[in-house]
Structure 1
Amino acid sequence: MVELAEMARALRGASSRGELSAWFQPQIDLQTNRLVAAEALCRWHHPAWGIVPPNEFIPIAEEDGTIGEIGVFMATQAMSAMTAWNIDISVNVSPAQLEDSGFTRWLERMIRRIRRPARRLTLEITEGRHLGDVPALVARLDRLRGLGVGIAIDDFGSGQASLLQARRLHATELKIDRALIGDDSPETTQVVAEAVELAHDAHLRVVAEGIETAEQLAKVTRLGCDRAQGYLLSRPVPRGDMARLAATA
């Protein structure tokens, strides 16, 4: 069992040592059944511990500040993929990163340099920490949105993720949490249906996460979700494999 302090120390400089990599999970358009996007996901391969799950190291990175290093690495990977492939790319961004004006200014500069339209990039706001100075955060997001960048609220249906938060952050996309997708009860299905309707009324795209069965895929299609991702469609894959998938999109 690796101690938290030891893992925190090992995270520092992990990207510069080549231990981090970006994997990608495809998203399909539920109307056309075509590959239209992919979510960039961070993977950490420690030389002694092997693959460390993101749900173990990301919270530690947010607490000790190394999330900034990881965030720059992943945003760079996402923008590189966006310039190489003719699909949309989303990448997770912690509120801890958005509290750092230096990160958002760096992101603005990078976006202005890339060849592809910035609308191809979506930032997924994760729930690792409470939102701090919301007006300042919204101002930073609005500058990025002014460049065309999309803003997604991740994990709707768990924790603090809500339509209210989507409105507060001027979001463009809502991601339905896998826990709701996997719950077939009439009550939960109604919650999802109402969320989809309200999101569409607010002109938000709706993405269903965690699709693992044909029945779940049929359900989210019937409920009007716009896109879907999950193991039924594809597990996260290395960059080279995603490049080959994107080439046929």
Structure 2
Amino acid sequence: MFTAHPSIADADLTEPQFIADDDRIPAIYRAICRTMNGGFLAQFSLPTSEPTNDGLADVECHYLAGIAQHGEVTIQAPALPDYLIPFSQHHQRYFAFDYHQSSDEPQIRYIDTEVDQWLVVADSLTSFLTQLSPKIIDLNIENKLTPLQRNHYLLVAQGAQLDALLARYEADADKQWLFDWLLYFAEQGTPAQQMSALIAYDIQRLYFKRQLPRIKSAQLTTIFEQLPSLKDAYHAYQKTWSPL
């Protein structure tokens, strides 16, 4: 259900990713949080009956909030009625347990307060989770991504989509942030993700070398040299690099 959750995935996030403990929280949700207390979803697209800010027939739920246990900052939505318990927030958009119709089995409601859109997207939490599906990420460069989208998409992107996302950030993203992601993929990624990290690093060495974080760059080259699957490709790229 959840993706890996490296620390870099929380970079620049502004919305809390915890909810206050409440007796009304469904037992299924509590069971999920006992296994993993919230996190980014691997499948995050939910069908809708009308267009939303995310698509013509779907909406994106990026994460499930954990239940606060140690005084963590929690989602606050004072403008919403008390019968709603938000469990995911993305700026002015919320997913919430809706107890307006039932005190036992809440519906799941999506609310976009910026455009006053209120949709019932599932009759229960079980139905909500069942309907979640993967999504092809919209790579249109005209679409400005929030920090939450940017980090979540990098966690779930594969193959050409990951290459395209890294290429999108190659010129204007913060280099420390970008190199933390490259280090994550190089250290913990699949062979394909490691190759994507090497390709992205090659572009950085060729065109942005004066801007690179030296320590993280050295860490990357050490990792690439030690990966048997990348050794030949790394040395081929290395021949084209001038010294930092």
Q: TM above 0.5, one fold?
A: no
- Name whichever structure is richer in strand by fraction: 1
TM-score (norm 2): 0.30
Query: Higher relative contact order at CA 8 Å, sep ≥6: structure 1 or structure 2?
Result: 1
Task: Compare CA radii of gyration and give the structure with the larger one.
Answer: 2
- Name whichever structure is richer in helix by fraction: 1
